[in-house]
């Protein structure tokens, strides 16, 4: 039986990190009731921005959470670790040391019993869909079905909102007993911008999964440019690399990318690109991107994954790492209060969820579901009262 607390727009944020899911939900009328993460440095960043974590933040491994610590909420979110699902990782899948934390989330939901939230939202890399030939994603969806949820997956690229290429797979789960069931005909045409062929085909190949596919218009294309989020740092600022380090980076480029860089250098105005170092044929190469979109922010591990800004024009060129503030802007968290070391900030933002993407999901999916639930509860109670605060 659903409780009164669960009809208000409250949420529990598992794998909260630095709290960017919270930022997005709060901007669409939701209130945090509980947050959990295992990382002390992310907790420090969360505290520096929100300052209220003593009221609701639990620093603990999700496998060790006692269910009495979790309040009754309308929504539970889980941006569980992607390390073992990412194409850049070892692809251990949901059995891996990090991504197996998903099963900790399932355990929490199961132990909540009748207090399970009516709605859930999970997020991960698109590699989740293909991990172990799709077996991991299928297992995850069936596990949610067994807990009473039907499921709806879709993919959103943050580039629709910010100048960062960041595709992520989201799944909304609804408690089946509280929402109207879909007919089979609603699953016949699932392919769309948010459900590309790979995802639509997975859905059609797995009719045994309880799907609840909702028709969604794609996000509006708000194409912003990398240059718009950059901090204005003078040429002598310490963030810019010295000549030797910058020249070494240039020499790591392939001949194709050097041609592009030289055209930028010869330009009359400053132009910008981003660089990631990648290992190609056993050698570290600097790969330049100049379409006005930054590559996907990553977590810096052992010095890798740190995105480099390349500025060129007027016969000169410069290079430096993206600053924490620029990373915050790329995640749609422009005003986030940052009190952290460079690597700590890069790790926090690189491991987070893009704020305007969450806002779009809340506005176009979660909030309408809440309205539907509210209407259904009113009808079932025979009362006309507002259940959602």
Over the stretch 224-260, which tens digit does the pLDDT of each residue have?
899 999 999 999 999 999 999 999 999 999 999 999 9
Q: What is the pLDDT of residue 298?
A: 87
* DSSP letter string, 308-371: EEEEEETTEEEEEEPPHHHHHHHTT-TT----S-HHHHHHHHHTS--HHHHHHHIIIIIHHHHH
Summarize the confidence of residues 173-199 as an average pLDDT: 82
Q: What is the pLDDT of residue 382?
A: 62
Q: Which two tokens stand for residue 243?
A: 């000549």
Over the stretch 19-70, which tens digit does the pLDDT of each residue have?
999 999 999 999 999 999 999 999 999 999 998 988 899 999 999 999 999 9
CA-derived radius of gyration, the chain? 22
Boundaries of every domain in the chain: 5-222+349-381, 232-322
Q: What is the pLDDT of residue 306?
A: 86
CB 175 within 8 A of CB 370: no
Summarize the confidence of residues 261-277 as an average pLDDT: 96
Q: What is the pLDDT of residue 91?
A: 47
**At 186, is the pLDDT very low, low, confident or very high (cuts 50, 70, 90)?**
low
Q: What is the pLDDT of residue 222?
A: 73
**Cβ atoms within 10 A of the Cβ of 88, count?**
14
**At 389, is the pLDDT very low, low, confident or very high (cuts 50, 70, 90)?**
very low
For residue 34, give the 3-state DSSP assignment: strand
Q: What is the pLDDT of residue 251?
A: 96
Give backbone dihedrals phi and psi of 29, rounded to 5 degrees, phi first: 95, 10
Q: What is the pLDDT of residue 97?
A: 46
pLDDT for residue 84 is more than 60: no
Q: What is the pLDDT of residue 386?
A: 47
Q: Look at the alpha carbons of 185, 188, 194, 199 in this order and tell me if their dihedral is positive or negative.
A: positive
Summarize the confidence of residues 155-178 as an average pLDDT: 96
pTM above 0.75, yes or no: yes
Mean pLDDT, the chain, rounded, equals 89
Over the stretch 86-130, which tens digit does the pLDDT of each residue have?
554 454 545 544 447 888 999 999 999 999 999 999 999 998 899
Q: Look at the alpha carbons of 33, 38, 40, 45 in this order and tell me if their dihedral is positive or negative.
A: negative
Summarize the confidence of residues 322-348 as an average pLDDT: 94
Whose tokens are 């310490």? That residue is: 238
Question: Residue 211 burial by CB count (10 A; 0-12/13-18/19+): exposed, middle or buried?
Answer: buried
CB 135 within 8 A of CB 129: no
pLDDT for residue 295 is more than 60: yes
Summarize the confidence of residues 179-202 as an average pLDDT: 80
3-state SS, one letter per residue, for the chain: CCCCHHHCCEEEEECCCCCHHHHHHHCCCCEEEEEEECCHHHHHHHHHHHCCHHHCEEECCHHHCCHHHCCCCCEEEECCCCCCCCCCCCCCHHHCCCCCHHHHHHHHHHHHHHHCCCEEEEEEECHHHHHHHHHHHHHHHHHHHHCCEEEEEEEEEHHHCCCECCEEEEEEEEEHHHCCCCCHHHHCCCCCCCCCHHHHHHHHHCCCCCECCCCCCCCCCCCCCHHHHCCCCCCCCCCCCCHHHHHHHHHCCCHHHHHHHHHHHHCCCCEEEEEEEEEECCEEEEEEECCCCECCCCCCECCECCCEEEEEECCEEEEEECCHHHHHHHCCCCCCCCCCCHHHHHHHHHCCCCHHHHHHHHHHHHHHHHHHHHHHHHHHHCCCCCCCC
The domain over range 5-222+349-381 is classified in CATH as 3.30.450.40: no
Summarize the confidence of residues 211-221 as an average pLDDT: 91
Q: What is the pLDDT of residue 33?
A: 96
Which is more confident, 281 or 290?
290
């Amino acid at each position: 039986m659903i409780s009164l607390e669960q009809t208000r727009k409250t949420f529990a944020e598992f794998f909260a990190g630095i709290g960017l899911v919270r930022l997005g939900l709060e901007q669409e009328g939701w209130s945090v009731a509980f947050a959990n993460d295992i990382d002390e440095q992310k907790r420090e960043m969360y505290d520096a921005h929100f300052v209220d974590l003593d009221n609701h933040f639990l620093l603990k491994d999700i496998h060790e959470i006692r269910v009495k610590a979790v309040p009754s909420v309308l929504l539970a979110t889980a941006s569980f670790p992607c390390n073992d699902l990412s194409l850049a990782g070892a692809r251990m899948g949901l059995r891996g040391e990090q991504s197996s934390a998903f099963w900790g989330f399932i355990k929490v939901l199961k132990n909540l019993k009748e207090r399970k939230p009516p709605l859930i939202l999970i997020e991960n890399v698109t590699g989740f869909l293909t991990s172990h030939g799709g077996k991991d994603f299928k297992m995850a969806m069936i596990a949610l079905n067994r807990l009473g949820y039907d499921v709806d997956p879709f993919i959103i690229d943050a580039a629709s909102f910010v100048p960062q290429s960041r595709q992520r797979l989201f799944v909304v789960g609804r408690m089946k007993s509280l929402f109207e069931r879909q007919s089979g005909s609603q699953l016949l045409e699932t392919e769309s911008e948010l459900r590309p062929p790979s995802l639509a085909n997975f859905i059609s190949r797995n009719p045994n999964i309880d799907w609840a596919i909702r028709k969604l218009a794609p996000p509006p294309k708000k194409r912003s440019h990398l240059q718009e989020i950059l901090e204005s740092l003078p040429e002598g600022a310490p963030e810019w690399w010295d000549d030797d380090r910058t020249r070494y980076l240039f020499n790591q480029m392939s001949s194709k990318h050097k041609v592009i860089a030289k055209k930028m250098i010869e330009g009359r105005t400053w132009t910008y690109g981003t660089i990631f170092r990648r290992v190609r044929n056993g050698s570290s190469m600097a790969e330049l991107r100049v379409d006005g979109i930054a590559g996907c922010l990553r977590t810096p591990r052992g010095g890798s994954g740190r995105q480099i800004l390349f500025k060129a024009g007027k016969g000169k060129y410069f290079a430096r790492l993206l600053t924490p503030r620029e990373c915050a802007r790329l995640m749609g968290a422009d005003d986030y209060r940052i009190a952290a070391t460079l690597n700590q900030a890069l790790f926090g933002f690189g491991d987070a969820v893009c704020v305007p993407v969450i806002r779009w999901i809340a506005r176009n999916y979660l909030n309408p579901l809440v309205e539907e639930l509210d209407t259904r509860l009113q009808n079932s109670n025979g009362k006309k009262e507002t259940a959602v605060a």
